[in-house]
Amino acid sequence: MIKVAIIGAGITGASIARVLSRYENLEVHLIDKNPDVGWGVSKANTALIHGGYDDDPDKYPMRAKLCVRGNRLWHRWVKELEIPHIWNGALVVALEEEDFDELEKLLERGIRNGVPEMRIVDREELFHLEPGLNPEAKGALWIPTVGQIGPIPAVIAIVENAVANGVKIHLNTKVKGIKVQNGEVKGVETNNGFIEADVIINAAGLYADEISRMVGLDYFTIHPRKGEYWIFDDTVPGPRRVLFPTPTPISKGIVVTTEISGHLMIGPNAQDLPPEEKENLATTREGLEEVWEGAKKLWPNLPPRSKVIRTFAGLRPEPTGGDFIIKAEEEVFGFINVAGIRSPGLTSAPAIAYEVAEIIQRDLGIKLIEKEKWNPYRKDITRFSMLSPEEANRLIRENPAYGKIVCRCNLVTEGEILEAIERMKFIGVKIPSIDSIKFRTKATSGTCQGSFCRVRIIQLLSKAYNVPPWEITLKGEGSEIGIGDVKALLRGENSA
C-alpha cells in the first residue's frame, strides 16, 4: 500500500484527495492546520468557474490547459456531489471603442485554448443579455460556459465524498517538517505526530513555498494578492450574467455578479502584498472605494450603502513566474509541488487533481489500480426553503426539527443544522464553530448576519459536542464566544 500525504485541504488538495480515493493501492491522508476544510484561500473569492479565454498559453501553459479542462469537469462534479451552482455565462464588457481590440485578442486566445461557443456581441444583443448595464457600453465578449458555485460548499462536498471513499483526514494539524532520507520522502512531522508517507503532495496554498523549503527546494516564492469585496442584501437586484470589464495586465478586473445565494457582489481589486503578509485579510477604505468606483462603471445603479451587509477580503497565492507549479521534484523523490494555484485555481482544481494522478503514474512509476467499487456521489444537506409544500410537510412529519426555523434570513431549519453537525463530525471537525455551520447551511450569512440565529446555533453546537456554550468558537481556537458574550446573546434572545 502506497501512503500519500496531501498538505492543504482547500479546493486543490480536496480535489486531489477525491481523485486519488479511486485507487485501491493508495492510502490517502489529507492534512490541514485549520479546524475545518476550505478555510484558507478557498474561503474568500469570486466563486467563478471561468471559461478559459483569459490565460495566454504561451506565458501560462498550465493555467491555459487546466482551466478549460476544469470547466468541463465541474459540469460533472457539481451533479455528482450536489454542489450549489449556476451556469449563467459571462460578459467582458467594452466601454470604449478601443476595448474591442482587447476583446478580439481574448476571443482568439479562447479559441486557441479550446473554449467553445464564445463570440463578440453587439450593443443590441448585449442589452438583451444584460439590460441593467451601463448604457454607454458598446458591446462585449460573451462566454456562455462560465458559471458560479459556492466555493466552501464545494470543498466540503468533495471532502465528504473523499472521506466516504476512504481518505483519512487530519484537521488542526500543522506541518512542522518533512522527513527526507536518501533523497526520498518518508513522512510529515506535525503538531499531532508523524504521518508516514511515500508520496507528499504540497497543496498548501499561500504557504506552499514554505512547505517546499522544508525539503530544500527554494526556487519559487508565493506572495499574497489581496482582493476586496462588497456584498448586498438579497433584496437588491443584481445582474443575470457575470460582468467583467476589459482586463488589465494584473487582473481580470472588478466583477459585478449575483452570487448563487442571490446577493449582489462586487469585487475584487488587486493589491500585491509582501510574502510575510499571508494572513492580512483586512479590508481598507481605499481598496473598498476602488471596488465601488470600478463596479459603477459596469453597473451604475449600485444600491445605497445602507443595503451592504458585509465587506470582506480574500488572498490569492501569486507564484514566481505567474503560472501554476505542478511537478514531481527530481531532487526529492516522492515530493510533488502543486503550488501557486491562483486564479483560475478554483476552476482548474478537478483538472489539477487528474494531472497529479498522471504525475504519480508517469513520473513516480506507481501504477494506480482502480477500486472495483468507488462511489462518486454525495447528497447535499436538504434546503428546506427549496422544497415543495408537500415535501416540506412530509419531512416535518418524519423529523419535527425541520419545522423549526433557526435562520430567518435564509430559512435554515434546526434539522439542517443538526445534519450539518453530523457531517462535521464525519470528516473529523473537533472544534465546534459557528463558521462551520455557516459554510454548510448559510445560517448567519443573511441580512442580519446572525443577530437572530447565532444564539440557537451556539446551543445546538454546545449540546452536540457536549461542551459549555462559551467554549463554542466563531472560527476555531482563539475565537471562543466567552461567558459574557453568551449572556449578552441570551438576553438578546429573550427580548426578541
- Which amino acid is present at 143? I
Residue 105 makes CB contacts below 8 A (sequence gap 6+) with none
Three-state SS for the chain is: CEEEEEECCCHHHHHHHHHHCCECCEEEEEECCCCCCCCCHHHCCCCEECCCCCCCCCCCHHHHHHHHHHHHHHHHHHHHHCCCEECCCEEEEECCCCHHHHHHHHHHHHHHHCCCCCEEEEHHHHHHHCCCCCCCCCEEEEECCCEEECHHHHHHHHHHHHHHCCCEEECCCCEEEEEEECCEEEEEEECCEEEECCEEEECCHHHHHHHHHCCCCCCCCEEEEEEEEEEECCCCCCCCCEEEECCCCCCCCCEEEECCCCCEEEECCCEECCCCCCCCCCCCHHHHHHHHHHHHHHCCCCCCHHHEEEEEEEEEEEECCCCCEEEECCCCECEEEEECCCCCHHHHHHHHHHHHHHHHHHCCCCCCCECCCCCCCCCCCCCHHHCCHHHHHHHHHHCHHHHCEEECCCCEEHHHHHHHHHHHHHCCCCCCEHHHHHHHHCCCCCCCCCCCCHHHHHHHHHHHHCCCHHHCECCCCCCECCHHHHHHHHHHHHHC
Residue 248 makes CB contacts below 8 A (sequence gap 6+) with none
Which of the following is catalytic: 29, 50, 85, 263? Answer: 50
- Residue 85 annotated in active site: no
Task: List the catalytic residues.
Answer: 50
